[in-house]
A and B are shown apart, each in its own frame.
Chain A
């Protein structure tokens, strides 16, 4: 068709096209190689550094999941098994008992169990936990800080930018390699990475 009529202009168009195509390919290749040098074959997931966390309570409300993918975890190695638990009991409790009025947790997600005099075990029921960090605040200020928040990766959607990270006042959210996805207290030290001594659940 037009090929026969105006061979010159078509030739010119084709030349411009392939030239631009080459230019685009080169710039794309440039971006790709600059990025590739710094890329990691291990994917990244989000996690909370419990030493930076200030227990502001936003994890419960800002996550795209309802309830939040952030839950309280219990690092039993650090727990003092206290009877007067700052994470379990409200300040100024009527009695050190499992009565609802004495519990700090708004969803009663912590199970308190008597072990032996004078020790009590505290286990988080993750189905109930909403990640509000009330117990974390209590445990951190009055106890060992064995209760702390972690993103649970069976629930986390791993958004490109974590909605909680964006509003975290303490910048406690960070991207960590997918093969070491937790920063559980006791398993790692401040600034270090988690050792894989944890049972996969």
Chain B
């Protein structure tokens, strides 16, 4: 019975639209009434977002924090100073800014800015990407030591660090390269920002996260008690870039302020396994050189095999793209077209786009994935090949030195060094 009202309403709607389509600016089904009682129409409120100047203040805070922590590491050589700076960063960038904006995620903004013509990268995001890298190019990874909130939360929790076997560290240390490559692949194909999506700590900063991410975050923290900074060392994609910069930095921190007295006190001080011991060449020089030559020769092979393996994976990789997923679904299960419960398919069907168009688009995206996964695989192959070369190159080392790529400049080892600064 009552539905009659609705039908009446619908008919009147149709009538209205028919009549009003002749009128110049009338687009509404029911025109706004003119009130006799002096009714004052309320405003539609529009609360402003965070003030733009505050976003630039974040950049300034980052710069100041980087400067302060670099000063603590290089000049003051103070672990305490580094620690309290990192606590500040945790509070400011972590709990106050709730983990967004962060330098790790900014990789994706920069990549999207390069690959997506419709996206203009905010200057603040670009600066968040550049500042730590520039600092790292001169002073080592001081960003990791005191400015990164993700690093800080793990650093505080590293209570009982155990030393992982070297080969485990080496193998796990390859993951960040893969993660970086995958992140770039998914951004370059305009699919998604996986670094942000799988940030394990952002849920703590916001006190709110999906259940599976909360579990992942807790897992990272629990492991982090024993394996110091697991995310930084074995996952962080930004750490890869920082490591490259730091490796060739002009003023990296040193364990000892003057000459090393070989006391070995610092040997076990590093929870990250980032201190290189003194080494002398072992084995026959001839066979060592031969091995190195072989590794150099098979480097292109690594790249080729990696690229090929990557390209074989381009179909499953591309399924994480919305368009490709939808096209596959509709082609393989045409019955979903009439499934009213599938919101995505329903929306697509009512969008007026033809299935052929969708498949064509998906094909183009998949082709991008094909090229991208060749590059990704080749990159991973190159990383494996060069790390093999790195393992077999011999470089004489007489003192205990920080490994410039992996050292996070946390300054723990400095406390252990008995040598005082030369006057």
Enumerate chain A interface residues (CB-CB to B < 8 A). 1-2, 17-18, 20-21, 24-25, 28, 31-32, 34-36, 38-45, 54, 56-58, 64-66, 73-82, 84, 86, 91-94, 115-116, 119, 121, 123, 142-144, 150, 152-154, 156-161, 163, 166, 169-170, 175, 178-179, 181-182, 184, 187, 198-201
Contacts and interface: CB of A to CB of B under 8 A. Distances in A.
Interface string B77-121: 000000000000000000000101110011011100110000111
Given A119-B33, A160-B193, A161-B196, A56 B343 contact: yes
B202 to A, nearest CB: 8
A24 B248 contact: yes
A12 to B, nearest CB: 11
Contact of A92 (B6, B41, B133, B196): B6
A160 to B, nearest CB: 5
Contacts of A119: 33, 35
A142 to B, nearest CB: 6
Interface stretch (B169-177, B287-295, B344-352): B344-352
A158 B99 CA distance: 11
B130 interface: yes
Given A39-B121, A41-B123, 10 more contacts: A28-B130, A43-B52, A44-B122, A84-B9, A115-B37, A119-B33, A181-B48, A198-B45, A200-B46, A201-B47
Given A153-B49, A181-B48, A158 B100 contact: yes
B193 A161 contact: yes
Contacts of B31: 80
A54 B347 contact: yes
B249 A143 contact: no
Contacts of A54: 343, 347, 350
Contacts of A199: 43-46
Contacts of B35: 115-116, 119
A173 to B, nearest CB: 12
B5 interface: yes
Contacts of A77: 32, 41
A142 B9 contact: yes
Contacts of A93: 2
B137 to A, nearest CB: 6
A15 to B, nearest CB: 11
26 contacts: A17-B248, A21-B250, A32-B130, A34-B114, A38-B119, A38-B120, A41-B123, A44-B122, A64-B206, A64-B210, A80-B31, A92-B2, A116-B39, A119-B35, A121-B42, A153-B47, A153-B50, A157-B98, A158-B50, A160-B105, A160-B106, A160-B108, A160-B109, A161-B197, A163-B197, A169-B343
A150 B344 CA distance: 20
A169 B348 contact: yes
A43 B120 CA distance: 9
A159 B100 contact: yes
Interface string B121-146: 11111100110011001000000000
A40 B398 contact: no
A156 B109 contact: no
Given A28-B133, A158-B50, A160-B193, A64 B208 contact: yes
Nearest to B323: A171
A113 B98 CA distance: 39
Contact of B28 (A57, A64, A65, A144): A144
Given A40-B123, A93-B2, A81 B32 contact: yes
